[in-house]
Structure 1
């Protein structure tokens, strides 16, 4: 199973996600996909197995991963102050990978009917969703996109 964590700007949220995912699933491969090198570096320092930066890296890897984790803004073109390009948003949204998104009300998106939680609680919930996805797809040959 390959989990891609997508983040930009300072990479702090991606770093926290990578730390929790690697702690919870040490044998799972985690890709750090940053919109910039600072974000990628933060996620690599947090324990990601591989890292790549920029539009082509994100677009290319969306065909290769099983799960994508990040804030909901990764589906929105020009989010993260313009760092997330329309091609990145399209590739993430079109990817056959399971998407586990943190409902942060930023990037001109306001998600309603969601509990207001701390970022740490949202990350814990994302890790729980990853666990449920892994358990539901354990041994499935259909899990990895071709």
Structure 2
């Protein structure tokens, strides 16, 4: 089972996601840190990701090679993360056959109506719990 964690800018959200996933998931689950920049990737690698890659092409190439994609919702919004999220990355993430679990974190002139305001640690706990539940349910159908 492979999970891509995608983040940009300073990589803080991705770092926290990787730390929580690493603690809760079985050893055989691979975590792939995909950063829009090297700093974000490095933060996720320090947090326990198995491997990492940075930049547009690395993200576009790898999103089709994972079972799950996790990160902030900005990873499907062109020009999010202060412009680091390119239209090509957003399209690749959306088109990927991987299951996507996205945190409702977005800055700028977009608002997600109907989403409850929760502190980031609570949202990450919920995301990680959902990944764990989905892994348990799909054990018999795991794609390698």
Instruction: Please provide the CA RMSD for this pair.
Output: 1.2
5+ residue gaps, structure 1 = none
Counterparts of 1:126-137 in structure 2 under 5 Å? 126-137=127-138
Deviation at 1:104, TM superposition (A): 1.4
The answer on whether the counterparts of 1:14 and 1:43 sit within 8 Å (CA) in structure 2 is: yes
Match of 2:85 in 1: 84
Match of 2:112 in 1: 111
After superposition, the Cα gap between the structure-2 partners of 1:52 and 1:69, relative to the gap in structure 1 and judged at 3 Å, is same
Q: Is the 8 A contact 1:33 1:53 kept in 2?
A: yes
Stretches (4+) displaced over 6 A: none
2: CA distance between counterparts of 1:106 and 1:65?
Answer: 27
Query: 1:131/1:107 Cα in 2 relative to 1: closer, same or farther (>3 Å)?
Result: farther
In structure 2, do the counterparts of structure 1 residues 107 and 63 end up closer, same or farther at CA, with 3 Å as the change threshold? farther
Corresponding residue number in structure 2 for 1:10: 10
Structure 2 segments unaligned to the other structure (5+ residues):
none
Instruction: Report the Cα distance in structure 1 between the residues aligned to 2:81 and 2:24, rounded to whole angstroms.
Output: 27
Q: CA deviation at 1:125?
A: 0.6
Contact 1:73–1:109 at 8 Å: present in 2 too? no
Normalization by structure 1: what TM-score?
A: 0.94
> 1:26 offset after TM fit, Å?
4.0
Question: What's the TM-score once normalised by structure 2's chain length?
Answer: 0.95
Q: Is the 8 A contact 1:63 1:96 kept in 2?
A: yes
Q: Secondary structure at the match of 1:14?
A: helix
Q: 1:12 to 1:2 in 2, by over 3 A?
A: same
Output the CA distance in 2 between the equivalents of 1:48 and 1:126: 17
Check the 8 A contact 1:80/1:107 in 2, yes or no: no
Q: How far off its partner does 1:144 sit?
A: 2.7
Alignment: residue pair count: 143
SS of structure 1 residue aligned to 2:132: helix
- Looking at structure 1, the residues matched to 56 and 134 of structure 2 have their Cα atoms a distance apart, in angstroms, of 27
Please give the secondary structure, in 1, of the residue aligned with 2:32.
Answer: strand
